Amino acid sequence: MSENKSQGVVIVTGGGRGIGASTARLAAQRGYEVCINFHSNEARALRVVDEVRDAGGRAIAVRGDVSSEADVVRLFDETTRQFGAVTALVNNAAILERQARLDDMEAERFERVFATNITGSFLCAREAVRRMSTRHGGRGGAIVNVSSIASRLGSPDEYIDYAASKGAIDALTIGLAKEVAQEGIRVNAVRPGVIYTEIHAGGGEPARVDRVKSAVPMKRGGQPEEVARAILWLLSEEASYCTGSFIDVAGGR
């Protein structure tokens, strides 16, 4: 399955579905040993693991809530135990809730969305830096944060809380990239637009992509594989002089 010699060890959070699953499969094809993190749907994660192994790659699935510090530390420790030093992180795990205006949202909703989307990404990035940074005895590595075009558009009348959480990911990408630029770690992000994944069902409108695609200059929704290809490029040595950079995979929005 691998196109090249081993490219290292990558953790993909939320790797059991959508963009995460496509990224995990493509990473294995490119020669990475892959840890697929999942929160609750073990069957989905194990299906991706089986697909990778059936094609000759190496993958494991590790359950963990990224908003839990203990779970994140265990995720990295278990990956290191099975594969060796982690060299790449794809910060993909995220949630959104049902479409609503801000004046109809409750505080508990903010706590849930921000815990996964912001705290989870910060915790995973922290653990990656502690292991990859030359300051801590690591050999360097790469982090790709999965933001969203919503961070620029705001998602009015639908989920501005989700959009705000992705704005925080943009800030994390810029700040952390500068912080660890001399420690062997590159930090970049992709900002997907409307992509055909199951996350829209979580917002209460499974067919949302088809409804809004007319607003996209390319007049179509994107596929998870199209985002995965951008992620793998940013992880690769082809992007060796890119840090603090963003790739919008959004059809021109």
Q: Retrieve residue 228's tokens.
A: 């995965």
Supply the pLDDT for residue 250.
97
Alpha carbon 4 to chain centroid, angstroms: 23
Q: What are phi and psi of 42, to 5 degrees?
A: -65, -40
Position 202 pLDDT exceeds 90: no
Position 127 pLDDT exceeds 80: yes
Position 220 pLDDT exceeds 90: yes
Supply the pLDDT for residue 157.
95
Supply the pLDDT for residue 6.
84
Kindly report the average pLDDT of the chain as a whole number: 96
Structure confidence by residue, pLDDT tens digits, 14-65? 999 999 999 999 999 999 999 999 999 999 999 999 999 999 999 999 999 9
8-state DSSP, 191: E
Q: Cα angle at 18 between 16 and 23, to 5 degrees?
A: 75
Supply the pLDDT for residue 2.
45
Look-up of token digits 């399955």: 1
Coil vs helix vs strand at 124: helix
Beta-strand (E) ranges in 98-238? 141-146, 185-192
Share of the chain above pLDDT 70, in %: 98
Position 146 pLDDT exceeds 50: yes
Supply the pLDDT for residue 200.
77
Distance CA 158, CA 150 (A): 11
Whether this model's pTM surpasses 0.85: yes
Plot region of 87 (φ>0 → left; ψ -120 to 50 → alpha; else → beta): alpha
Contact 204, 188 (CB under 8 A): no
Supply the pLDDT for residue 109.
98
Supply the pLDDT for residue 203.
77
Q: Retrieve residue 5's tokens.
A: 């010699």
Position 201 pLDDT exceeds 80: no
Supply the pLDDT for residue 156.
97
Annotated catalytic sites, by residue?
162
Contact 150, 194 (CB under 8 A): no
Which H or E run contains 108?
Answer: helix 107-114
CATH classification number, 8-249, choose in 3.40.50.1260, 3.40.50.720, 3.40.50.300, 2.170.190.11? 3.40.50.720
Q: What are phi and psi of 89, to 5 degrees?
A: -135, 130
Read out DSSP for 14-35? TTTSHHHHHHHHHHHHTTEEEE
20 Cβ neighbours under 8 A, 6+ residues apart:
12, 13, 14, 36, 90, 92, 93
Q: Give the pairing of strands 8-12 and 88-91.
A: parallel
